[in-house]
Structure 1
Amino acid sequence: MSTANVLISLGGGVALLLWGIHMISGGVQRALGSRLRGVLAFGLSNRFSAFSLGLVVTALLQSSTATALMTTSLAAGGAMDLIAALAVMLGANVGTTLIVQVVAFDITMVFPALILFGFIINRKARQATARDAGSALVGLGLVLLSLHLLTEVMRPVENSQALRLLLQSMTSDALLSAILAAILAWAAHSSVAAMLFIMSLAGSNVVPAPAALAMVIGANLGSALNPLSAAMGGDPTRLRVPVGNLITRLVGAAVSLPLIGPISDALLALDPSPVRAAAHFHLLFNVAIAGLFLGLLPLEARLLTRLFPMKVESSDPGAPLHLDEAALRVPSVALSNAAREVLRMADVVEEMLRGSQDVLHRGDRDRIAEISRMDDSLDRLNRAIQRYLGAIDQENLRESDTRRLSDILALAINLEHIGDIIDKNLMELARRRLKSGLQFSAEDSASIGEMHSRLLDHLQLAVSVFMFGNVEAARRLVAEKEGFRDIERQVTQRHVLHMRSGRRDEIETGSIHLDVTRDLKRIEAHIAATAYGVLEKHGELRNSRLTSHAAGEAG
């Protein structure tokens, strides 16, 4: 086999490996959906349970990078303690070694069975979760198949003197071997991919066992660089977890590299296979680091907190705070980030509603201008959220996540429309009343005040529906929407009486009051729309408000 054929075959084998890992990670993420982030945030009462959780989640995902992204997001947002987050990463590093342990043995009968059963499950299962699990099994089979292919491709290398000399010269020094493997793992975005390549080299006797073990150290260092690069350029607190993870591996490398010869001899004495020696060292390296650092995590957390202090929050209310670009590859995290940003929009709308209530009663030109600026911030947040949602990896979204994305987008659009109504309609009416010097009657002021109070209460209900799917709150939102129709009817009737009186000031004031009522009713409709998705999901939403007779005539 020519050198070109070997390199192309190696590239194809690595590509198949990465695609298999992608299928595993995507299948598990779709199967768990938004629960994956909740799994990470649950049960973190101490560093030992956090370590176990990180191990299990990463063993399922087969991607410590995905675990690192979720952990970094939770820790930076304050949802996870830094010590627990660092413990999760120690567990994640051990979790990635499990697949390597499996493939260190004869797998020729394993990967066909995994691909076959995974395919059958994916095609025959009725539930989406089972189909996603089938995809993950196929991915695992492809990972094992890729190792088999890589091993077969490397066999001719033993007879290629030129390739052997090239690889041996590049791995003649332990430090150089580690650097080479670190670059490989960083470029592949996978320590598993690097490890399988290293094991192929070791199994073909292209590199000696000490060099293979040094490359294992490099692979662990290289895979720690990807989460670090993803956290660059934002809030410094996002660097705490990836830097802490890199520090633990650097310490492990500094201790292990000088002892690589004796370690190699000891492992080969236990098992003469260089492939299994590399796999065992990969496991022992990460277990030893975890054993060393689990007790030192409080000290490490204090050091990282001092090195990367919390960034002073932007004074620009229109600047998004939670839309982390690095989290886009993990849809469950990205959706949670977008939801948090939508809640910021809800806070801005609440402040605008309170402000509009104030200026409609008392009148304050500066306050009117301030509310208009809030609407500008609301528009910018909405645009940022829509761009972020559009960039989420749609392939790994399960049906429930797709619904969640639609709910987030719908609420963001409704809140932006509410801001426009307040800015362009209510504030214009406030300016009109202020310019003409008109005063609302006590009855009109009480009516406007009551509607604002209801809207503020309903906005909180909408947030509850959005965050927790509260069915009772959703029912109340839709039921109380009818109350605004009654208020509008009453205000319209009073305005007709004002018109009959012929008094210009009463007619003008009544006209403004009626316009305010209709605008507040429109705001109520946008707020109540939050309930429709939840009620439809529970089968409590009618298709039409028309009676069956009227609907039949319309048809």
Structure 2
Amino acid sequence: MHEINWVNFACQLLGGLGLFLFGMRMMSDGLQKSAGDSLRSILEKLTSNRVIGAFVGVVVTAMLQSSSATTVMVVGFVNAGLLNLTQALSVVLGANVGTTVTAQLIAFKITSVALPAIGVGVFLRLFSKVPRFQYWGEVLIGFGLLFLGLQVMTQSFVPVRQSDLFREAFIYFSINPLAAVLAGALLTMIVQSSSATMGITIALASTGLIDFYAAAAFVLGENIGTTVTANIAAIGANKTAKRAALGHFLFNAIGVIYMLILLTFFTEFVDRITPGDANFVNAEGFHPYVARHIANIHTLFNLINIIVFLPLIGFLALLCEKIIPGKDIPDANATLLDDNLIDTPDMAVRQARKEVQRMSGYALEMLIMARKALFDRDLRLINRIYELEASVDRMEKEIGSYLVRLYQTPMTERNSLYINSMMHVIHDIEKIGDYSESIARYAEKMIQEKMDFSDAARDEMADIFDVAIRFCTHVFEGYNTGRFGIWVDTADENLIDQMKIQFKNNHMDRLSSGVCSVAMGILFVDILNKLEKVGDNAFNIAQILVQRELE
């Protein structure tokens, strides 16, 4: 009997799987970077229309080359409040169809172009100065590694055909499709990639270790296993995100159940519509046509599933709400950043910018309330400023930490510049919050010690406050909308500096004439200094906007 080198088998299988997974990841990263703006544009056009949602899921998954990446991203969007449950379920349904593109690609078995693709890709990646060509170089490298890995995995199974133990085990899958479904689901849970499991299934079937019927059952199991990733991502998310992940599992699991009952008919139908005989064996002992049959099984199953469940998506959403009852209680202090989006940098940057917008809104609110608290002597507003200051400080830390983690992922130069600018902006916003809190503490001291400005000092303080608030409002709107030329007038920063100097001189005149006390005068100057610093930090943000326009 032929002796099998199990160490060599394990090394080949793991090495081939590693090449396959790395190729998938590199191809996905390259596609994301080259199509990042298109990806964002597609998602921004998503409406409550379930058909459009499913189409978006197909397109985005085809771009990402991973249904797991799409569903994890959807869970992140739901958790951030960007998608409702019905929208999310329609996108995930489409993602199941989109991921079949990978299987169809694998079925071409164009291993002869793997090495040339890697060669051309490396040349573009290393020697091209154009970012878009570099990204497409990554796509080609990933494409080549994917097929190279598939070839290595297939070759690793060739000696195993001589093992009676393996043959008997895989024959068991042919007569017990439920066991094959469970094996496919378990393998996908372990590998965390239905595409990789699909590659292993094709390798097994191509070498004749499993027949087409067992391979079809494996494919059904892979569709259940791939839902685990989204459910893991939903741990710690809000109830709506958990329902979206549950919905993904339900329509895949239900689809597998009815398809398993019809599996004999289903495989016969696919065999009829697919060229070549799935059971044909060539001179080398390989099954050359079975890969396309398996890919078609995968595609047809998910197409049928989307046809069945798309009209019923509202009922499915209600079922998920019944299984996971209750309402989400929004936490005003919770950030909307989701680590699940980090693997999709374009989406993560977009979400981080929304958090920066929310943070700037808090800082502006603090400045406005500081003015009102100072003149209306309102302790309630002062306490609210203290609460917002804690929120702004926490947001700076969380956004900054998120941006650091995001910066470590592959991304476009544009996103890299956005992240770099956001790191500076959140610092300036936090400082504006600090100065507003300092002014609130001065207001609290004035209330406690029954101190007040003279009429002239009150008028001057009101004037410089109004300019500072106006300048911050325009800068924040310019940064958050990107419309710098429309919103921002940096002349306000110079005006604040001039007003501070002029009002300090006026204050000295009032001191010399006895109109203003020394203690009150010190508070007056301190508040002027804080407002001047507010203008400086707002100007820093305006400069970042100017730099962005010049680029």
State the TM-score, normalizing by the size of structure 1: 0.90
Q: Who is 1:391 aligned against?
A: 405
For residues 36-56 of structure 1, the C-alpha deviation after alignment (integer angstroms, 9 at most, x for no partner) is 333222254633333222222
Trace 1:183-222 onto structure 2 (pairs within 5 A).
183-222=186-225
Q: Is structure 2 residue 324 aligned with structure 1 residue 311?
A: no
Tell me which residue corresponds to 2:257.
254
Indicate yes or no: 2:497 matched with 1:481.
no
1:57 aligns with 2:60: yes
Are 1:29 and 1:396, in contact at CA under 8 Å, matched by a contact in 2?
no
Q: In 1, distance between residues paired with 2:481 and 2:60?
A: 24
Shift of residue 191, structure 1, vs aligned partner: 0.9
Across the aligned residues of Structure 1 and Structure 2, the Cα RMSD in angstroms comes to 2.4
- Kindly state the Cα deviation for residue 511 of structure 1 after the two structures are TM-superposed: 3.1
- Distance in 1, matches of 2:523 and 2:118, equals 70
Match of 1:522 in 2: 533
Q: Pick one of 229, 234, 254 that aligns with 2:232.
A: 229
Aligned residue in 2 for 1:548: none
- Residue 288 of structure 1 aligns with which residue? 304
1:509 to 513, 517, 520: 520
Show structure 1 runs of 5+ residues with no match.
Answer: 541-555
Pick which of 89-98 and 461-470 moved more: 461-470
Give the SS at the match of 1:341.
helix
Question: Is it true that 1:346 corresponds to 2:349 in the alignment?
Answer: no
Alignment partners' CA distance in 1, 2:88 and 2:448: 58
Of 462, 475, 486, which aligns to 1:462? 475
Q: 2:37, 2:336 → 1: CA distance?
A: 17
Aligned equivalent of 1:299: 315
Which amino acid in the other structure matches residue 214 of structure 2?
A
Select the residue among 408, 420, 439 that pairs with 1:426. 439
In structure 2, the residue corresponding to 1:438 is in which secondary structure? Answer: coil
Determine the C-alpha separation between the residues in 2 that align with 1:9 and 1:277. Answer: 25
What does residue 508 of structure 2 align with?
496
Alignment of 1:107-126 (within 5 A): 107-126=110-129
Match of 1:471 among 481, 484, 489: 484
Residue 538 of structure 1: SS of its match in structure 2? Answer: helix
SS in 1 for 2:362: helix
Structure 2 residue 455 is the aligned partner of structure 1 residue 439:
no
Identity across matched positions, percent:
26
8 A contact 1:464–1:473 mirrored in 2: no
Q: Structure 1 residue 436: deviation in Å?
A: 4.2
Aligned positions of 1:153-164 closer than 5 A: 153-164=156-167
One-letter code of the match for 2:68? T
Alignment match, 2:285: none
8 Å CA contact 2:80, 2:338 repeated in 1: no
> Pick from 11, 14, 22: which aligns with 1:11?
14
- Structure 1 position 78, deviation (Å): 4.0
Report the residue type matching 2:373 in the other structure. Answer: V
Q: Deviations over 1:218-259 (max 9, x none)?
A: 011111111121012221111233222222111210111122
Following superposition, the deviation at residue 75 of structure 1 comes to 3.7
Q: Assess if the C-alpha contact under 8 Å between 2:213 and 2:267 holds in 1.
A: yes
| Change in CA separation of 1:294 and 1:368 when aligned onto 2, cut-off 3 Å | closer
> 1:73·1:327 contact (CA, 8 Å) conserved in 2?
yes
- Could you tell me how far 1:390 is from its partner in structure 2? 2.3
Residue 532 of structure 1 aligns with which residue?
A: 543
Unaligned runs of at least 5 residues, structure 2: 279-289
- Number of the residue aligned with 1:553: none
Contact 1:495 1:511 in 2 (8 A): no
- Cα offset, 1:206, TM superposition: 0.7
Residue identity matched to 1:415: I
Among 319, 339, 345, the residue aligned to 1:331: 345
Separation of aligned partners in 2, 1:512 and 1:393: 43
Contact 1:82–1:301 (CA under 8 A) maintained in structure 2: yes
Aligned to 1:99: 102
Q: Summarize deviations over 1:148-189 as a string: whole Å, max 9, x none.
A: 221122111212233333444466521111111111112222
More moved, 79-88 vs 172-181: 79-88
Alignment size in residue pairs = 534
Answer yes or no: is the 8 Å Cα contact 2:180–2:217 preserved in 1: yes
How far did 1:217 drift? 0.2
Residue identity opposite 2:464 in structure 1: M
The equivalent residue for 1:547 is none
CA distance in 2, matches of 1:369, 1:280: 64
Which residue pairs with 1:405 in the alignment? 419
TM-score (norm 2): 0.90
- Tell me the distance in 1 between the aligned counterparts of 2:46 and 2:398: 33
Provide the residue aligned with 1:377 in structure 2.
391
In the alignment, the residues of structure 1 paired with residue 530 and residue 263 of structure 2 have an alpha-carbon distance, to the nearest angstrom, of 75
Between the aligned partners of 1:306 and 1:76, the Cα distance in structure 2 is: 19
